[in-house]
Amino acid sequence: MIYLLFLNKNHERRREQMGKSAKIVDRSMDAVTADGTEKESQTEQQVGDNALKDITDMENEDFVYVY
């Protein structure tokens, strides 16, 4: 668990260096409205920029390790 905390802190520093927010709120489960359509804001699009790229979790600064 300590290693995961360490990895999350490293990703936070990398996000800050890239001009992004250090803390990310995962709203992936909130992305569907009552009528079943997806809602997405500009900031959520920026956070998920690397979602479909072929990179590892270590390379993806937007990845958050869950413990």
pLDDT tens per residue across span 12-35: 999 999 998 899 877 766 756 666
pTM, 2 dp: 0.60
Whether 1 is in a domain gets the answer yes
Closest to 31 measured CA to CA, from 45, 15, 52: 45
Backbone φ and ψ of 16, nearest 5°: -65, -40
Whether 48 is in a domain gets the answer no
Tell me which residue range forms the domain holding 15. 1-22+60-67
Quick one: how far is CA 44 from the chain centroid? 9
Question: How many domains does the structure of the chain reveal?
Answer: 1
Q: Is the pLDDT of residue 54 over 90?
A: no
Whether 9 is in a domain gets the answer yes
Which residue intervals of the chain are DSSP H helices? 2-17, 42-47
Whether 40 is in a domain gets the answer no
